């Protein structure tokens, strides 16, 4: 009997899904996931609504299934446990390289020119230079990235750190950690557990909008140059399962999504068309850092 995962029972679904072979899934259901770049509660609320929207728009059952980390999202995509995913720039590149025919179909309007914020605990005395240059005084402090596979929380900040300092982060800072997600990076720096950290700019801006207490003790000290980042990627074999043109229908549905509440939860103003070629700079950078072959 096919197992239909209830997207309302997400924590249980996550445990079951990790252990299920692809053959045990409901073949009629479009499963999708997302990189766990924020608090689990936020992700469940956001993507549960996306699942409802896609199910109504596409006319097929759709289920969101959370994963434990970035690598798990790529593995699930490779193994056909999910057919659609909201990836970061790097995880999207990794997934598409593993599944021939898969392609990026949409991105947030803001993802064309994404940036990473470097933040510092106010006790460090560090401030953002008015001319936008990399601030002095970071050497020897403690530093945290986000998840190891994060584009905005690891790949691009490490690339710029190496370019600017001429050193590996482990040599430049006294201690280097990986928080796991952007929200946790903000909390760790705000608490003083780390002096400095790098995170997705939209998470920090959302915290500012919500008046989160962390922004009182963790302030922006540098902004990276822009780069392409998040994207919706779909497997190349979905047309075989759901009919010719299904991938294009999913793309159209995402681009047409205009629910202000859903978009704000990302946060994005809209989704726009994307292609694999947009992420060539991410792939090139990942090769430079030996993160992919």
Tell me the mean pLDDT in the region 128-148: 96
Mean pLDDT of the chain: 91
Residues 166 and 144: their CA atoms lie apart, in Å, by 18
> b/e per residue, 249-266, with b = 16+ CB within 10 A?
bbbbbbbebeeeebbebb
Residues 130 and 107: their CA atoms lie apart, in Å, by 31
Distances (CA, A) of 163 to 134, 157, 226: 11, 10, 15
* Largest Cα span, the chain: 63
What is the topology classification, in CATH, of domain 115-223?
Answer: D-Maltodextrin-Binding Protein; domain 2 (3.40.190)
Residue 5 has pLDDT above 80, yes or no: no
Q: Select from 156, 157, 184 the least CA-distant residue to 89.
A: 156
User: Against a cut of 0.75, is the pTM above it?
Assistant: yes
pLDDT of residue 17: 46
Is the CATH code 3.40.190.10 the one for domain 10-111+228-288?
Answer: yes
Tell me the mean pLDDT in the region 19-36: 79
Tell me the mean pLDDT in the region 184-202: 97
Where are the domain boundaries for CATH 3.40.190.10 in the chain? 10-111+228-288, 115-223
Residues 120 and 220: their CA atoms lie apart, in Å, by 7
């Amino acid at each position: 009997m096919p197992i239909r995962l209830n997207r309302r029972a997400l924590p249980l679904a996550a445990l079951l899904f990790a252990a299920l072979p692809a053959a045990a899934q409901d073949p009629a259901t479009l499963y999708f996931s997302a990189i766990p770049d924020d608090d689990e509660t936020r992700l469940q609320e956001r993507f549960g609504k996306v699942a409802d929207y896609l199910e109504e728009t596409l006319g097929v059952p759709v289920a969101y299934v959370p994963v434990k980390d970035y690598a798990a999202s790529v593995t699930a995509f490779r193994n056909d446990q999910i057919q659609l995913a909201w990836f970061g720039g790097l995880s999207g590149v990794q997934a598409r390289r593993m599944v021939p025919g898969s392609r990026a179909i949409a991105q947030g309007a803001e993802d064309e020119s994404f940036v990473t914020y470097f933040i510092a605990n106010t006790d460090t005395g560090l401030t953002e230079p008015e001319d936008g240059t990399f601030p002095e005084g970071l050497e020897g402090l403690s530093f945290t990235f986000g998840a190891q596979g994060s584009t905005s929380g690891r790949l691009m900040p490490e690339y710029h750190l190496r370019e600017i300092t001429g050193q590996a982060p482990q040599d430049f800072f006294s201690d280097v950690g990986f928080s796991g997600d952007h929200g946790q990076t903000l909390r760790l720096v705000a608490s003083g557990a780390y002096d400095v950290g790098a995170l997705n700019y939209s998470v920090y801006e959302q915290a500012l909008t919500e008046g989160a207490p962390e922004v009182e003790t963790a302030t922006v000290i540098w902004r990276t140059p822009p780069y392409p980042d998040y994207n919706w990627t779909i497997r190349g074999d979905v047309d075989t399962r759901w009919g010719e043109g299904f991938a294009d229908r999913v793309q159209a549905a995402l681009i047409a999504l205009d629910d202000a509440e859903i978009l704000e939860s990302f946060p994005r103003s809209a989704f726009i068309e994307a292609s694999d070629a947009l992420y060539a700079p991410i792939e090139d950078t990942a090769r430079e850092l030996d993160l992919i072959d």
